[in-house]
Amino acid sequence: MTGLDTAFHAAGAAAWGGVAYGALTPHMSPEAQAKAENLCPGARTVLIAAFPYYAGDRPGNLSLYARGEDYHRVLLRRLEPVCAALRLAYPAHRFLPGADNSPLPEREAARLAGVGIAGRHGLLILPPYGSWVFLGSILTTARLPLSKRPAAPRCEDCGRCRAACPTGALNGDGFAAERCLSHLTQKKGMLAPEEDQLLALHPCVWGCDSCQRACPHNAGCRLSPLPEFREDLVCRLEAGDLEGLTNRTFRERWGTRAFAWRGPAVLRRNLALQNPQVYSEDA
């Protein structure tokens, strides 16, 4: 569809595709299907687009994905003109943009649509941007005429991401989210002693890029052309960046960043674990 090619290109997507919603339901839990049906009753098609975010691997203690503007905000903003154009072309139908917080299995949608390779680390690989891409979706009631493309293959499973994972979250049985350091950095409340120890040794206070840095598809990958992910980067948080901030003032200062959604307490805890000599829970 030439019109959609133009619209997604103008939105900043490096690639896009589409898949029938029914092809995704076998990969969705009953709860996810119910949520999707509630959001968009009678859904027929899912459009999926990849937006590169790699801005170089500079030193810091924040995962590379969290250094620019919050990708949820960016993708929803960039997808809205595509939805607006589709609403004009199909006025009787709904077009609902989503970015990671939707019930759709976005990586599987992208793979089935032929957009990119499903990596063993649970992320989509899109040469020449590697796995440094965010996925945005559009769920619609329209049955769109999509180009027929074969599903992309899964990665060759070279084992490098599995070997690089510090906690063994990637194993022969799949992905153990409860052991993933990115998950642990975002987990609220008190942690188990072994989780405290893992975070104390971790170089990031938010997220983890170990598996992506090890992936051969990410060697020499191209930088993102999107200014939201290339400019005004926050690579490191220190104790002083959070000092004296209430939940409200924290949101005012950092609310446009992906690392802010859990609030300041989680970040303070992680900083305290990694820097006990200069930071305490009472700081």
Catalytic positions, written as ranges = 100
Return the closest-CA partner of residue 167 out of 156, 175, 179, 178.
Answer: 179
C-alpha–C-alpha distance, residues 251 and 188, integer Å: 17
Q: At what angle do helices 71-89 and 2-10 cross, to 10 degrees?
A: 150
Are β-strands 45-52 and 15-20 bridged in parallel, bridged antiparallel, or unpaired?
A: antiparallel
Burial class (CB in 10 A: 0-12, 13-18, 19+), 182: buried
Identity at 16, one-letter amino acid code: W
Q: Is 133 helix (H, G, I), strand (E, B) or coil?
A: strand
Q: By CB neighbour count within 10 A (0-12 exposed, 13-18 middle, 19+ buried), where does 219 fall?
A: exposed
Torsion region of 217: left, alpha or beta (phi above 0 gives left; psi -120 to 50 gives alpha): alpha
